Amino acid sequence: MQYTPWTIRSEDFTPEKRQSLGALFLVSNGYFGVRGFVEEDPTGEMGNGCIFVAGVNGDGADKREIVEGKRRDLCNITNVLRLRIAVDGEVVDGIADTTDAYRLLDMKTAVSSRHYIWKNALEVDTLRFADMANVHRIGQRTVLRAQKPLSLTFHALLDSNVYNHNFESCEPMPIQPGLNHIVSRTLGDNRLSTRLDDEDSTTLYAGQQLRLCLNGTPLNGVPYADEMATGRRFDVTMDAGDELVLEKLAAVYTDKECPDAADLLDAFMSTPADYAEAYAAHCAAWEARWAIADVQLDTETDDQTALRYNLFQLMGVCPMHTDRVSIGARGLTGEMYEGCVFWDNEIFQLPFFVFTDPAAARRLLAFRYHNLPAAKRLAAFHWFEGAMFPWESCEKGREQTALDHAYYSIHIVGDIAYAIRQYVQATGDLAFLWEKGAEILLETSRFWVSRVDYSKRDGHYHLFRVRGPNEYDHYVDDNAFTNYLAAENLHIAVDTLTQMKTAAPEQYRALCEKTGFQPSEMDKWNEIAGNLYVAYDEELHLVGEDSTYMDRRPLDLKRAKPTAKRILESGTMTYQMMTFYQLTKQSDTVTLMCLLPEKFTEQERIAAYDYYEPRTAHDSSLSYAPYAWMAARLGKVEQAYDYFKICAYLDIADLKLNTISGLHFANFGGTWQATVFGFGGAQYAEGVLRIDPHLPDTWNGMRYRLCVRGGIVSVDISGDRIQLTADGLTEDLPICVGGQKALLNSELTTAEFRL
């Protein structure tokens, strides 16, 4: 892999890496996820295409029992970028018989391109983008240059001959064709509609507009259609040096999100599209997003490129067109986890959007509000009250995890409450809190009341049989992460409803009427929040991961994990054995202390890091960033940088050999937190922005921006100098840098400090 500050480039087209690089060179816009497949490959896995649409799913191949409805698969839709190229009757597949072949991802403009020369006869350049200015469109530009006189046949198509890939989670492995979720198709002139096998019988309407020129002269081509594809065919005679250029805009609408999808496609097809204009608008949209989200590193390493890749994919995956879908664990990059939404969204990805794109964060939280009825049904199914958000949520808010696993993984409920508070504190968006957030907080609090048990023996409330972030414990009692987030949920609800009663009395009365809420319920919430049990070793100043962790048998982690493979894949232990030992799959208590630093002393944070770090297997991509964040905050900068190098390069270098099944979006968000909250030392809490940086030796400085209370604060760290510049503040913003305090507002917009 070759890096520049804004690009990555690969010359590797070997079968072993072709598909994982396809995921790596993805472009997306929150509606489409378009992997880096080869448009002209007529056979094999690369010719299948790999385009996903947010919220568009087929009937799941996995038939395990779930609570409600059916499981489903993220669906590979019609390949709207299909090309067929033949030179003198011989098919060009874009892979074999090529020289000077490479693919390039330009993160600044969000385009993925390829280049090669085929048999010294034809030079090929392709470019694609998922339009950020109009999310229903994908752009494609193909340039063919004749190296000698030749006869060329060229097809530009919409091709419904696609199927899911059914990737295993690691390489090396054979590609295993999965399901074709298309049950019927209707072909027209440059149009193709397909109906899926999902419970809604979703129909997708796709169309394309083409402009093809030979040496600048437009060519019309002839209509083409077969059983699966439709488009245009061009037969061209070329001399050496001739250049054929195809510019294409494709559009897709679905009746799942647009009842008038067919009419919208009609409107697209009836209005001539300008490729250059669309491309310019797309680039401008990305320029605006980078202007806020970019983190600039003063370094001679490749860290700048790796970090930008993490941010690029985060921005690309976030839905802009609706608040009815959210970000799945693998985004729109692969079928693993079926596009479902986990706790990753609130704890790892959401903070990036809270502080760089608050409107996007609001949509992601509104997704949970829209699915509140489903969460209430899930709680009732399990004999609980209130709202129990699913561990693995489809776009309709239904639990997709098999019954025996989802029952215990309940910290997701508190994670959502935590995220609501973080968003409201950073933005001051009380309208969201009164309209949506308060009801979520109320119903999740009712869930905790019904889920805890009181022990007369010790006078504490307990959460028995739970599964915390340490997923190697099938279930434990009183997982500290779960208990602290449950208590926070209850406290936040009390504070919110108390404030709402005075600040928004009409909305408060409407909420009480809708939910049957009685103010006396808050007495129980306070009682439980103040008495939830957490194991604690007074001598070690150590918070126990759960009620028995510190009493379990120590484990030789090198024996359990002799290679980089996960323990379960190493074959050294079973799930039953794991609960016998002090073993943590991924950051658990350390993540808790990153989220709630004010709840713990410095001594307790150090004790937790030193105790759990050697006991953590890091068998999840969610593990490295919290350790980098915490280590940086504790001044363990060398260790923090070691963890950063893993999380920042996890996908771009395919460190886990499972990028083939999709990118790791929680890790992307974690990388941003490790960088900005860890090394950059940013923390916004209780109305104060604190900056306490700890940069690694390989970075001479860094610059980042934070959206806070309606304004944008730029933080410039260089050596021992830190400068904060505010723009757009409408209220005073207290800041504290290395213990030095100041106040930024519309009059005093810049403050400089020396450490």
- Element holding 507 (H helix, E strand): helix 505-515
Closest CA relative to residue 335, chosen from 703, 63, 662: 662
Do 728 and 711 touch, CB atoms closer than 8 A? yes
How much is the pTM? 0.96
Pairing status of strand 182-188 against strand 740-744: unpaired
Q: What is the CA radius of gyration of the chain?
A: 27
Distance between CA atoms of 754 and 525, rounded to whole angstroms? 45
- Element holding 104 (H helix, E strand): strand 98-106
Region for residue 120 given its phi and psi (left: phi exceeds 0; alpha: psi -120 to 50; beta: otherwise): left
Looking at residue 167, what is its pLDDT?
59
Do 162 and 77 touch, CB atoms closer than 8 A? yes
Backbone angles phi, psi at 404, to 5 degrees: -70, -25
| Residues acting as catalytic residues | 471
Tokens read off for 718: 């260089």
Do 438 and 495 touch, CB atoms closer than 8 A? no
Distance between CA atoms of 262 and 250, rounded to whole angstroms? 14
Domains of the chain: 2-290 (2.70.98.40), 535-615 (no CATH)
Q: How does pLDDT run across 433-489, given as a tens digit for each residue?
A: 999 999 999 999 999 999 999 999 999 999 999 999 999 988 999 999 999 999 999
Do 394 and 325 touch, CB atoms closer than 8 A? no
Looking at residue 80, what is its pLDDT?
97
Looking at residue 195, what is its pLDDT?
97
Please tell me whether residue 407 adopts helix, strand or coil conformation.
Answer: coil
Do 43 and 354 touch, CB atoms closer than 8 A? no
Low-confidence ranges of the chain (pLDDT < 70): 43-47, 61, 166-177, 403-404
Do 567 and 573 touch, CB atoms closer than 8 A? yes
Do 445 and 525 touch, CB atoms closer than 8 A? yes
Backbone angles phi, psi at 244, to 5 degrees: -110, 125
Please tell me whether residue 560 adopts helix, strand or coil conformation.
Answer: helix
Distance between CA atoms of 104 and 101, rounded to whole angstroms? 10
CA 500 to chain centre: 32
Instruction: Report whether the peptide linkage leading into residue 172 is cis, meaning its omega lies within 30 degrees of zero.
Output: yes
Taking the alpha carbons at both ends of the chain, their separation in whole angstroms is 38
Looking at residue 165, what is its pLDDT?
76
Q: Alpha helices, DSSP H only, in 534-615?
A: 557-560, 567-570, 575-578, 589-595, 602-612
Do 703 and 714 touch, CB atoms closer than 8 A? yes
Distance between CA atoms of 318 and 360, rounded to whole angstroms? 7
Looking at residue 169, what is its pLDDT?
52
Distance between CA atoms of 560 and 714, rounded to whole angstroms? 46
Closest CA relative to residue 452, chosen from 417, 487, 496: 487
Contacts of 516 (CB under 8 A, 6+ apart): none
